[in-house]
């Protein structure tokens, strides 16, 4: 992910962490490794300390390390009814 895309993703991070369901999004993110997927799922569903917000933060961290992370998260957000967040990241709808 390039610097401009990282900045755009970082700007929505608080809202992203509070409102998305990472378990739903990871299905549409082929750039994630199996290890990333398991870590995100475990952080959200852990019996003692499971947290959707923590899982979203881990998802963000994994995506910014992937070349296709920005494109894939914008498309996944749109596919999962979160056009509001996708539009903040890609206001010109350049990703389709």
Tens of pLDDT, residue by residue over 34-46, are: 999 999 999 888 7
Average pLDDT, whole number, for the chain? 93
CA 16, CA 14: separation in Å to the nearest integer?
5
Question: Is 70 exceeded by the pLDDT of residue 47?
Answer: no
- What pLDDT is attached to residue 96? 84
pLDDT at 45: 82
Within a 10 A sphere around the Cβ of 6, how many other Cβ atoms? 15
Residues 6+ apart with CB under 8 A from 30: 72
CB burial class (10 A; 0-12, 13-18, 19+) of residue 92?
A: exposed
pLDDT at position 51: 86
- Of the options 1.10.533.10, 3.40.50.12280, 3.30.830.10, 3.40.50.1220, the CATH number for the domain spanning 3-89: 1.10.533.10
Residue positions counted in the chain: 96
Q: Give the pTM.
A: 0.90
Residue 48 has a pLDDT of 63
Task: Say if residue 12's pLDDT is above 70.
Answer: yes
């Amino acid at each position: 992910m390039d610097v401009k895309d990282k900045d755009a993703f970082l700007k929505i991070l608080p809202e992203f962490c509070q409102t998305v369901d990472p378990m739903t999004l990871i299905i549409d993110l082929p750039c994630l490794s199996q290890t990333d997927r398991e870590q995100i799922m475990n952080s959200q569903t852990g019996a003692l300390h499971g947290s959707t917000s923590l899982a979203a933060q881990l998802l963000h961290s994994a995506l910014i390390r992937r070349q296709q992370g920005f494109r894939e998260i914008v498309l996944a957000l749109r596919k999962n009814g979160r056009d509001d967040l996708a539009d903040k990241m890609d206001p010109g709808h350049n990703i389709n």
